Amino acid sequence: MLKFENGALGYVEGSWIMPEGHSLSSLLEVSGTRGMLSVDNKSTATLSIFKPGGLREELTPLFNDGYYLEIKCFVDSILRNEPPPVPGEEGLKSLEVVLAGLKSVFTGKPVKLPLEEEMF
């Protein structure tokens, strides 16, 4: 469970467990008081927007094969000797959230970000 500065709550779950015969997929959902966003990569990574009253809007992705594009962009930035569009510090922020979650599990207490000490 995540609590943001504005008081909003968030929940993150990850799993690699799939029944035999099912391909690997990923799903991202963001729910709030005014609706929900859902992206499922099983087909074409369509973005579904659910609004109050049951209204639903679907947006067709502008790209397919996001991992290929992500790696290509990173390699291109190295070849051009330019900084990548998403700096490594952003990955460190994601890692910090995960480490805070682990610390919370081990201590049984909420953990504030940014972390003030090293975890390991």
Tell me the per-residue pLDDT of 72-113, one tens digit each, with 9 for 90 and over. Answer: 899 999 999 999 988 989 989 989 998 998 999 899 999 999
CA pair distance 64, 71, nearest whole angstrom:
13
CA within 13 Å, CB half, 21? 0
Q: Strand 35-40 to strand 46-50: parallel, antiparallel, or no bridges (unpaired)?
A: antiparallel
Tell me the per-residue pLDDT of 9-66, one tens digit each, with 9 for 90 and over. Answer: 887 777 667 677 776 667 778 887 778 887 776 656 677 888 888 778 887 765 666 6
| pTM greater than 0.85 (yes/no) | no
**pLDDT greater than 90 at residue 6:** no
CA pair distance 90, 74, nearest whole angstrom:
14
Which position has the token pair 């990850």? 14
Q: Which of 59-91 are b and which e, b meaning 16 or more Cβ less than 10 Å from the residue's Cβ?
A: eeeeeeeeeeeeeeeeeeeeeeeeeeeeeeeee
Q: Output the pLDDT for position 58.
A: 82
Q: Output the pLDDT for position 42.
A: 65
Q: Output the pLDDT for position 77.
A: 95
Q: Which position has the higher pLDDT, 12 or 116?
A: 116
Which position has the token pair 């029944």? 19
Q: Output the pLDDT for position 43.
A: 59
